[in-house]
Amino acid sequence: MTCYSLDGLTPVVDPSAYVHPSAVLIGDVIIGPHCYVGPLASLRGDFGRIVLEEGANLQDTCVMHGFPDSDTVVERNGHIGHGAVLHGCRIGADALVGMNAVVMDNARIGSRSFVSAAAFVKAGFECPEQSLVMGAPASIKRSLSDQEVAWKQAGTREYQQLAQRCLTQMQVCEPLSEPEPDRPRISDSGLRPKDSTS
């Protein structure tokens, strides 16, 4: 990772967390245990504080930033999809923010809630626990079922396992010029529906 101290504050990364080498951490950033930070993520603690609590993931090209004296927080087991932007907001425990969604200042996403892909959550927006938030501007559409929340929790566990796989198995390498015969596959996580014939 590319890591910068600023104004005497150095980013903190728990040893059990995985931060991709292309991610950028600046200043007041705190990454807790078992977190995953994907390629090209930017966590800019140059004004406010940036926090990923235990088990949270922040995927490829996500941005976390805020105004001076603000906190931008993803609580325990939060799940932030590819390309999302979080600015001075709080994402509740076990919540999901979909791909390319934007969550603005002082917004609070309740625990176990989902923000849909490409949603725009206005500054100051609040939603109760276990809500589905969609649209641009976003609004609360309905409550989520326990089954939907369980699906999200399984995905978050996959990212927690991915953090450990990356810590122990990922290596810089040169690409091959062609696929090897009988090229193996990375094993199925079990999240996709199985074919009824298999």
For CA atoms 33, 35, 40, 42, the dihedral sign is: negative
C-alpha distance from residue 184 to each of 86, 180, 181, 191, 195 (Å): 37, 9, 9, 19, 20
Encoded tokens for 40: 């090209």
Specify the CATH number for 2-143; select among 2.160.10.10, 3.40.50.720, 1.10.520.10, 3.30.1280.10.
Answer: 2.160.10.10
Element (H, E) at 18: strand 18-19
pLDDT in tens, 34-64: 999 999 999 999 999 999 999 999 999 999 9
- In the chain, what percentage of residues exceed pLDDT 90? 91
87: number of Cβ within 10 Å: 21
Contacts of 22 (CB under 8 A, 6+ apart): 1, 2, 39, 40
pLDDT in tens, 1-27: 899 999 999 999 999 999 999 999 999
Angle CA 65–165–52, to nearest 5:
20
Q: Bridge-partner residues for 85, per DSSP?
A: 63, 102
pLDDT in tens, 149-175: 999 999 999 999 999 999 999 999 999
* Domain edges within the chain: 2-143
**DSSP-derived pairing of the beta strands 24-31 and 71-74:** unpaired
* Position 189 pLDDT exceeds 80: no
Give residue for tokens 């600015």: 87
